[in-house]
Amino acid sequence: MKEPAGTGDGTIRLRGVGVSGGIAIGRALVLEGPDVAIFRLDLPPGKADGEVARFQRAVRRAWRQLRDLRDRVRNEAGEAYGRVFEAQILILRDRALHQETASLIRREHVNAEWAFHTVVGRYTQVFSQLGDQALRDRGTDIEDVEARVQAILTGSRKRHDLSELTEDVIVVSATLCPSDAAGLNRERVIGLAIDGGGPTSHTAVIASALGIPAVAGLRDASTRVRTGDFLVLDGSEGVLLNNPGEEETASWRDRRTRLAQRELDLMMLRDQPAVTQEGVRVRLQANIELVEELLAARRFGAEGIGLYRSEFLYVRKAPGFPDEEEHYRTYRELAENALPNEVVIRTLDLGGERYVSTLLERREPNPVLGLRGIRLCLRREDMFRTQIRGILRAAAHGKVRMMFPMISVLDELRRARAIVNEVKRDLLAQRVPCDPDVPVGIMIEVPAAALTADLLAREVDFFSIGTNDLIQYALAIDRGNESVAYLYQPLHPAILGLVRRVVDAAERAGVRVSVCGEMAASPVAAVMLAGLGVTELSMNPAAIPPVKQVIRAIRMADARALVEETLRLDTPAAIEALARRRVSELVPAEPAAALGSRP
């Protein structure tokens, strides 16, 4: 079939965030945004109870729809996608949401649409104010649930039906809720361009699990593109072009072919071990935040989960907390589905840029240096114990390790371990099934912890170096501040020195050490880390194949020699340039530029 083409007149170039890799070239299908205006209507006297009943009927119907959708998606696409709707079902069943809506209807004598919208608005506002994009993305689920209930209440809004498409399209939309994304026809939808959202939204997770190129955060794309426009979308770089000319389109087609071939080559590596030329085994694991990401982890060949960030469990429940059963169920699912591999569950790391006001006593002037991670957990022991109980119980169902974030001093580690021991004793006394021998480790992400790694190593089972924060704290640059992003240099001699110190301390004490910061996702940095003695790396799932490719191409001796050579250099730029050059010599098929951007 002949592919469509653009004329090149007045090409529009839009930039967003690439959330699912790959290039799509084709015609646009612009979805209309939610179009129900919600009005406040005063109820006639005596009608409040009837209105509450109408609301409850709508919720029940929405619940049935979601359950059917979950079952259908589970059958068609697999267990993991079904779980997206599990999250929405939980939201819909949230008692506080029902009670607050019913009492608003009764108190103010208003219509159900308005009352529900007002109550949901309070929740979505909490999410929209969160500093962390990943957490903000969770708000989309609540909006999706609201749209469903409102559609039932008003009886007017037709939800998009993307399962009946008959030609290839790139879907362009202001927001694309998870139910729309899951309902799309995988044969026909070749790309997704979304105004809002971010890399960890459920929509992004689904797109990447389905292997559909997607760009989010495009701001006003849906108003600047018309259905039928000719588009090029690059889901790796986060670019959308509307109506590119023939020459430009031809070069994108070439790129697409090359990329597809490279993807194929990399995916062929999926079942190959990550082993160096002289036979040293390197363990490559995935960092995930949602249980459904396990699927992507498996698709890219991860050998288990090196970092499960448990924050979402809490954020989904904000302003409340998850209870023990929720912790247990989630971790058990993770542990069982990861088998025969292991899962490292990190205890709560809220605080800092992941500011959740309800957990803190007061607003902090410098939250990144404030009551974050283990500090917050030791302040809120009740909450911490609940999580530990959940982890120890789930550990009976798989290979689980437990890890504390943001440890800066031995006392914190000792206190946290004492709590784990107390919880263990309670569980055993109550005859609750659990694994009392769960290995306990810590993140090394505060420079003080790296510098005293030998003291900490005596009292842990493993270290995981969190370079995202280690770089932030060691180099004094806010990891989310674009103005100082140029100083974010993983190959800074200070960082290499800290990593070496931690690895040496771990080796002397005989404890495992891994790196789970994004630095591990860069093939060049991964070789440097291997040269420093790190043979366990955890990263976002899609980064695994290219890292595996370089690991299989190098010899450890060369990686060590490279590290020695770079340590004689004095600037991060010189180190990076040399490392890139050497790695591209070791992996000749790969031009240096393709080895990942800044690590």
Q: Which residues are catalytic?
A: 202, 516
CA distance 536 to 136: 31
- Are residues 140 and 179 in contact, defined by beta-carbon separation less than 8 angstroms? no
- Are residues 390 and 396 in contact, defined by beta-carbon separation less than 8 angstroms? no
152, interface contact from ligand PEP, Mg ion, none, CB < 5-8 Å by kind: none
Any idea what DSSP says for residue 157?
Answer: P
* Minimum CB distance to Mg ion smaller for 149 or for 374: 374
| Sole residue written with tokens 């505060």 | 446
342, interface contact from ligand PEP, Mg ion, none, CB < 5-8 Å by kind: none
449 Cα distance to chain centroid:
26
* Minimum CB distance to ligand PEP smaller for 386 or for 540: 540
469 binds Mg ion (CB under 5 A): yes
* Minimum CB distance to ligand PEP smaller for 260 or for 485: 485
291 binds ligand PEP (CB under 6 A): no
21 Cβ contact list (under 8 Å, min separation 6): 208, 213, 235, 236, 263, 542
In this structure, the dihedral spanned by the alpha carbons of residues 485, 489, 495 and 500, taken in order and rounded to 10 degrees, is: 140
In this chain, which stretch among 188-196, 389-397, 460-468, 483-491 interacts with ligand PEP, using CB under 6 A? 460-468
Smallest gap from Cβ 183 to Mg ion, in A, equals: 36
CA-to-CA separations, 359 to 136, 150, 322, 346, 363, in angstroms, rounded: 17, 31, 13, 18, 10
- Are residues 216 and 198 in contact, defined by beta-carbon separation less than 8 angstroms? yes
202, interface contact from Mg ion, ligand PEP, none, CB < 5-8 Å by kind: none
Within residues 296-325, the interface with ligand PEP by CB under 6 A covers: 307, 309
The single residue among 178, 191, 466, 545 that binds Mg ion, judged by CB under 5 A, is 466
Binding mask 345-364 for ligand PEP (x = CB under 6 A): ----x---------------
Name which of 530, 568, 529, 526 is nearest 543 in CA terms.
526
Smallest gap from Cβ 454 to ligand PEP, in A, equals: 21
* Minimum CB distance to ligand PEP smaller for 116 or for 308: 308
Any idea what DSSP says for residue 303?
Answer: S
CA distance 355 to 494: 29
* Minimum CB distance to ligand PEP smaller for 117 or for 316: 316
The single residue among 195, 469, 536, 590 that binds ligand PEP, judged by CB under 6 A, is 469
Smallest gap from Cβ 591 to ligand PEP, in A, equals: 28
- Residues contacting ligand PEP: total by CB under 6 A: 10
CA distance 422 to 412: 15
CA distance 66 to 392: 32
439 binds Mg ion (CB under 5 A): no
In this chain, which stretch among 45-53, 71-79, 196-204, 467-475 interacts with ligand PEP, using CB under 6 A? 467-475
- Are residues 222 and 245 in contact, defined by beta-carbon separation less than 8 angstroms? no
467 binds ligand PEP (CB under 6 A): yes
| Residue type present at position 270 | R
372 binds ligand PEP (CB under 6 A): no
467, interface contact from Mg ion, ligand PEP, none, CB < 5-8 Å by kind: ligand PEP
Smallest gap from Cβ 348 to ligand PEP, in A, equals: 11
CA distance 275 to 456: 30
Tokens read off for 523: 């093939």
445 binds Mg ion (CB under 5 A): yes
In this chain, which stretch among 71-79, 139-147, 466-474, 569-577 interacts with ligand PEP, using CB under 6 A? 466-474
Within residues 395-454, the interface with ligand PEP by CB under 6 A covers: 445
In this structure, the dihedral spanned by the alpha carbons of residues 184, 189, 195 and 196, taken in order and rounded to 10 degrees, is: 40
CA-to-CA separations, 339 to 334, 335, 439, 545, in angstroms, rounded: 9, 7, 17, 20
In this chain, which stretch among 91-99, 133-141, 205-213, 465-473 interacts with ligand PEP, using CB under 6 A? 465-473
The single residue among 438, 453, 516, 542 that binds ligand PEP, judged by CB under 6 A, is 516
Smallest gap from Cβ 470 to ligand PEP, in A, equals: 7
* Minimum CB distance to ligand PEP smaller for 299 or for 309: 309
56, interface contact from ligand PEP, Mg ion, none, CB < 5-8 Å by kind: none
In this chain, which stretch among 8-16, 43-51, 202-210, 464-472 interacts with ligand PEP, using CB under 6 A? 464-472
CA distance 236 to 214: 8
Smallest gap from Cβ 287 to Mg ion, in A, equals: 11
Strands (E), 136-282: 169-173, 189-194, 214-216, 230-234, 239-242
Smallest gap from Cβ 51 to ligand PEP, in A, equals: 44
* Minimum CB distance to ligand PEP smaller for 235 or for 405: 405
CA distance 13 to 244: 9
CA distance 1 to 154: 43
309, interface contact from Mg ion, ligand PEP, none, CB < 5-8 Å by kind: ligand PEP
Binding stretches for Mg ion (CB under 5 A)? 445, 466, 469
Binding stretches for ligand PEP (CB under 6 A)? 307, 309, 349, 445, 466-469, 516-517
